[in-house]
Amino acid sequence: GAVVSQHPSWVICKSGTSVKIECRSLDFQATTMFWYRQFPKQSLMLMATSNEGSKATYEQGVEKDKFLINHASLTLSTLTVTSAHPEDSSFYICSARENQGNYGYTFGSGTRLTVV
Amino acid sequence: AQKVTQAQTEISVVEKEDVTLDCVYETRDTTYYLFWYKQPPSGELVFLIRRNSFDEQNEISGRYSWNFQKSTSSFNFTITASQVVDSAVYFCALSEAQAGTALIFGKGTTLSVSS
């Protein structure tokens, strides 16, 4: 079945530094990928929709300059948290939707970011 | 606008009890998909089921069953003879049929099964 690989699984960084999270579709092409953020005991909130070869579409309230998304190929999307602050500490999870077949959604295993 | 409501925030049961997790959705689309996911403490989302809006047949998979009723915009999930391993957060989600649209999640229901 479809597999999405997300790295790293967890990362600890200092305030003010940047962190890059990668999301790769391993056995299918994903024109569109999605990035979610999940705070403890809360639901998954859509941050942005990443489209291959074009600019990402951000949800209301998500700072595009802080959360940089790049979708340079049909199998790779990256999320960079710039100038991270402790309030950015969260669980980030990506998802890719297949372009054909049953159009199912496949999720990465998530990245737990802790900013200290 | 699309919306998914899971009114039950937390449910606690004892092993072997049956438990139903409620999900009510809102959408203006005539074609859409409904999903259930399980999220254990590890955080990884485990896909359980996908249902399209034209298929109202109830489905059973082992101890799991789903009841889809368009008339009440509900897609409820029942676990029969619950087990401790069923303890997790369960999310109901909705998407449009159109390619490129994201899943919208409900707030989730935390199920705790004690022995």
The CA distance from B115 to B109, in Å, is 19
Do B91 and A44 lie within an 8 Å CB cutoff?
yes
Query: Could you report the per-residue pLDDT of A38-86, keeping only the tens digit for each?
Result: 999 999 999 999 988 888 999 999 999 999 999 888 899 999 999 999 9
Look up residue B15 and give its DSSP letter.
T
Q: What is the pLDDT of residue A100?
A: 65
Where residue B103 falls among pLDDT bands split at 50, 70, 90?
very high
pLDDT tens by residue, B18-62: 999 999 999 999 999 999 999 999 899 999 999 999 988 888 999
> What pLDDT is attached to residue B72?
95
Q: Rounded mean pLDDT of chain A? A: 92
The 10s digit of each residue's pLDDT in B59-86 is: 899 999 999 999 999 999 999 999 999 9
Which residue of chain B comes nearest to A111, CA vs CA? B43
- At B49, the amino acid letter reads I
Q: What is the largest CA-CA distance in chain A?
A: 43
A&B contacts, CB < 8 Å: 51
Whole-number pLDDT of residue B84: 97
Which residues between 28 and 47 in chain A have a beta carbon less than 8 angstroms from any beta carbon of chain B? 31-32, 34, 38, 41-46
Give the pLDDT band of residue A103 (cuts 50, 70, 90): low
Please report residues of B whose CB lies closer than 8 A to that of A104.
Answer: 47, 50
Longest C-alpha distance within chain B, in Å? 43
Distance CA A67, CA A69 (A): 6
Cβ–Cβ below 8 Å for A95 and B103: yes
- Predicted confidence band of residue B96 (pLDDT cuts 50, 70, 90): confident
The predicted structure's pLDDT at residue A72: 82
- State the pLDDT at residue A101: 61
Q: How far apart are CA A95 and CA B87, in angstroms?
A: 24
Secondary structure (DSSP) of A35-102: EEEE-TTS--EEEEEEETTS--EEPTT--TTTEEEEEEETTEEEEEE-S--GGG-EEEEEEEE-SSTT
Q: How far is A15 from chain B (nearest CA, A)?
A: 24
- Contacting A residues, span 87-106, partner chain B, CB-CB under 8 Å: 91, 93, 95, 97, 99, 102-105
Q: Which residues of B touch A112 (CB under 8 A)?
A: 43
Instruction: Give the pLDDT band (50/70/90) at residue A89.
Output: very high
Q: Which of A43, A46, A110 comes nearest B107 by C-beta?
A: A43
A110 pLDDT more than 70: yes
Average pLDDT, rounded, for chain B:
94
